[in-house]
Amino acid sequence: MTNDAQKQHYLKLQQLLMELPWYVDEYITFKKRKLSAASLLNYAHDYKIFFSWLQTNNSHSGHIKDISLDLLETLTVQQVEEFLSYLQYELDNKPVTVNRKLSALKSLFNYLQNIAETRDLKPYLNRNVMAKIEFNDLKESMETIANKMEGKILLGDEYEKFRMFIAHEYGQLNKDNKKLSNFHTLNRERDTAIVSLILGSGLRLSEIVNLDLEDIDTNKYCVRVIRKGNKEQYVFFSKLAMDDLKEYLAIRSSRYHVEANNKALFVSAPMGPKGKSRRLTARAIEKLIEKYATAFGKPSLSVHKLRHSFATRYHAEINDVPKLRRQLGHSSIQTTMIYTHIRNDDLKSAVDRMDIPKDDIE
């Protein structure tokens, strides 16, 4: 599997750390073995927002890089609450996003108080204000979250309808638009394979983007991915996904003029003066899903919602939460439990049939 995406995240992380205080850099280094470059980059972005706010609201006239540990130690609960209000009401962050940013800050402050040590073995911070701050109380139950998700994912026969729409019907729908029709003719095998693989495995967008040819095991119907936390895992996918992948692989090299050293599984049409194909980017995949979803009449569909769709169907078929958790690569089983609350048409039908007298069932 390629490390190109991780390298890009790492380079962006290093650039961002140059703007932040030295102890943030030290903390990020401490976490490198446990978190992916993408996660660490998100942490650094959160810290920049916090330190920029401190600079504006706490009479720090210098660069945010120069904000001292002394300033952190003297922060009051009221000041931190003001920052959290700023996130929610001025930056329009949802309560769950505020909680995520607060979690990042709590982790940093915990490191400064309980893990990091000076040369004379004293903590960097004697007082940790973040330990006094409570998370937002997210009142939505798993069932409420699941119900909201239900209208935005594929259920029942929509799985196959959406796949067939991409493979064939989208082209028919746009046959009078030469540009759209030609573009669909060029990419329909690739796009069908992408959607089929997500719906047949539940892989994340980043995992799909980073796939190389050598990661696909065509005999065992599984794929090698690097999950969150840089953990290697072999993830199974459906036979239908394998069939669609084989159709795409049969035309990949010739249609996209792929050079021998390009090992990316999913590639773009040749671009640039030299006409080279490149690894398909995350944004390109997001846009193609958005395009098909809108034309299909379900504009709320996204790559992540396709992953949710897989998880819902898997649970309906297998009803094994630990196995689903492993398949999705969730670190917490609580996240996986959401799918046990989604009402699937297949499940509803089965329950409804329980009320029918046995003599009436053909």
Statement to judge: residues 96 and 163 lie in one domain: no
Catalytic residues: 204, 228, 304, 307, 330, 339
179 occurs within a structural domain? yes
218 occurs within a structural domain? yes
Statement to judge: residues 157 and 204 lie in one domain: yes
Name all contacts of 34-37 with Cβ < 8 Å and 24+ positions apart.
Answer: 34/229, 35/229, 36/6, 36/9, 36/228, 36/229, 36/230, 37/6, 37/7, 37/9, 37/10, 37/13
335 occurs within a structural domain? yes
Strand pairing category for 216-217 and 231-236 = unpaired
Q: How many domains does the chain have?
A: 2
Statement to judge: residues 157 and 63 lie in one domain: no
Instruction: Output the domain CATH number for residue 56.
Output: 1.10.150
pLDDT for residue 112: 97
Kindly give the interhelix angle for 22-31 and 4-17, rounded to the nearest 10 degrees.
Answer: 150
Run means of pLDDT, 10 residues per run, the chain, 362 residues = 70 94 96 85 95 83 90 94 94 90 95 94 95 78 52 80 94 92 95 96 93 94 86 91 96 93 93 82 94 91 89 81 85 70 47 42 35
How far CA 307 is from CA of 170, 314, 333, in Å, comes to 22, 11, 16
Statement to judge: residues 134 and 235 lie in one domain: no
361 occurs within a structural domain? no
Statement to judge: residues 17 and 159 lie in one domain: no
Domain limits for position 149? 144-353
359 occurs within a structural domain? no
32 occurs within a structural domain? yes
Output helix, strand, coil percentages for the chain, rounded to the nearest 5: 60, 5, 30
List, for residues 123-175, the tens digit of each pLDDT value: 999 999 999 998 877 655 555 555 555 557 887 888 899 999 999 999 999 99
pLDDT for residue 256: 94
Domain boundary among 139, 156, 173: 139
362 occurs within a structural domain? no
Instruction: Output the domain CATH number for residue 291.
Output: 1.10.443.10
Statement to judge: residues 226 and 131 lie in one domain: no
Domain boundary among 139, 158, 182: 139
Report d(CA 195, CA 307) in Å as an integer: 10
Statement to judge: residues 95 and 23 lie in one domain: yes
244 occurs within a structural domain? yes
Report d(CA 308, CA 9) in Å as an integer: 25
List, for residues 300-354, the tens digit of each pLDDT value: 888 988 988 888 888 778 778 888 888 888 877 777 776 665 554 443 444 444 4
**Sheet strand arrangement including 216-217:** 216-217, 222-227, 231-236
Statement to judge: residues 174 and 315 lie in one domain: yes
Report d(CA 127, CA 124) in Å as an integer: 9
